[in-house]
Amino acid sequence: MTLNNLSDLNAIARKMTAKGKGILAADESTGTIQKRFDKIGVPNTEENRRDYREMMFRAKDGMKHISGVILFDETIRQKAKDGTPLVKLIEEAGAVPGIKVDKGTKPLALEPGQTVTEGLDGLRERFVEYHKLGARFAKWRATYDPTKPSHNAINANAQALARYAALAQENGIVPIVEPEVLMDYDNDIDACERITEWVLKETFQQLYFAKVALEGMVLKPNMVISGMKASKRAGVEEVAERTVKVLKACVPSAVPGIAFLSGGQSDEEATAHLNAMHAFDPNLPWSLTFSYGRALQAAPQKAWSGKAENVPAAQAAFAHRAKMNGLASTGQWKKDLEKAA
């Protein structure tokens, strides 16, 4: 890799994790957005998917808190109603367009209950095309069950993340490396902390072996948090403290930024946790921000409900959540600011 290429990748990674801004994950697959649209009674058509995303990308007050947008394959090719490519709307808002490139999780052979993320075949050629379409960063997600971790699953996913990241950097694209310890179970915070540390250490080991330049990537991890079905869930301060502790033990300071996934947390919960991390330690070695999907979009989706006349209300709801998370990414969020919603 040329030094010139690395300085470009580093500049993009820094822009993606700029102070007071975060990444909008608008990369739901057609199947996932079906679930979101079902909740608000909207038919899952290409036109509705486009209109919904166009509504967000044109929300000036919301997009000023957004540094990058992760897109799905369909969306990166779509044009707005007036013919403007959606990628151009994102660029005009000052954000970096990105693309989800993994093909989802599949059962890992001979490992009941474990998964591995697929999508490496043909990825080099897809990166060439996505770069031409305007993508300057990419995302690959691996998932882990904290209740029954397997060395084989953790190792297989770490290797896939590293191979993907190397291919991305080779093609001038910043990789978001997303190892997610899922919060869908009844585990306590101790289990999440233990598995998150194991996953991160294995992932960075494989990134090293694959010669991935840490200065040209962004990490998108889970927070260290109790499972959603746990009988007793850890409080905001404990989540913040344990998350920062694990990150400091596992993430080299060469990484420009860390953008958390929300992973099923409620809107306000995800915001409060991010804010508390900055309050706990204001002198972190990397930028610490958000890369939220549901925690940014649940409110605007409900407000929009597929009706053109609801667009201003939906854009206001999106702007509020983006602003709250922007404040949280600098430790300046306060609960009473939520009243503005």
Catalytic site residues?
178, 220
Do the Cβ atoms of 127 and 168 come closer than 8 Å? yes
Per the rule left: phi > 0, alpha: psi between -120 and 50, beta: everything else, 108 is beta
Q: What are phi and psi of 139, to 5 degrees?
A: -140, 140
Question: Computed from CA positions of residues 186, 187, 192, 195, in that sequence, does the dihedral angle turn out positive or negative?
Answer: negative
Radius of gyration of the chain from its Cα atoms, rounded to whole angstroms: 19
Contact 258, 289 (CB under 8 A): yes
CB-CB neighbours of 4 under 10 Å:
8
Q: How many CA atoms lie within 13 A of 141 on its CB side?
A: 22
Separation CA 212–CA 5 (nearest Å): 13
Q: What is the DSSP letter of 224?
A: S
SS3 259: strand
